[in-house]
Amino acid sequence: MAIKRPARRKVCYFCERKKEPDYKNYEELRQFLTERARIKSRRQTNLCNRHQKRLALQIKRARQLALLPYVVV
Ligand SMILES: [Zn+2]
């Protein structure tokens, strides 16, 4: 049984701003990470399919460049 949450206007962060996730804007990507540095789920981020996918890719890239942490302990 699914618990229905009140419908909120679903606007993707990146669509709204007409920009794309970019590893260079890692400060911006940070808000899509949990406090444990995990990528938030689609439900939590409210991003569209396309941007959630791209976001994950850019976060991974940022991690490789050590701009974002893999895990916070
Ligand atoms: Zn989007």
Domains of the chain in start order, with CATH, are 14-64 (4.10.640.10)
| Side-chain half-sphere exposure of 20, counting CA atoms within 13 A | 7
User: Rounded to the nearest whole angstrom, what is the distance from the C-alpha of residue 46 to the centroid of ligand 1?
Assistant: 9
pLDDT per position as a tens digit, 26-67:
999 999 999 999 999 999 999 999 999 999 999 999 999 999
User: Rounded to the nearest whole angstrom, what is the distance from the C-alpha of residue 53 to the centroid of ligand 1?
Assistant: 10
User: Rounded to the nearest whole angstrom, what is the distance from the C-alpha of residue 73 to the centroid of ligand 1?
Assistant: 31
Token pair in block for residue 29: 């990507």
> What are the two backbone dihedrals, phi and then psi, of residue 43, each rounded to the nearest 5 degrees?
-60, -40
Alpha carbon distance 58, 73 (integer Å)? 22
With cut-offs at 50, 70 and 90, classify the pLDDT of residue 73. Answer: confident
Residues 6 or more apart whose CB falls under 8 angstroms from that of 23 comprise 29, 58, 59, 61, 62, 65, 67
User: Rounded to the nearest whole angstrom, what is the distance from the C-alpha of residue 63 to the centroid of ligand 1?
Assistant: 22
pLDDT at position 55, please?
98
Alpha carbon distance 67, 15 (integer Å)? 24
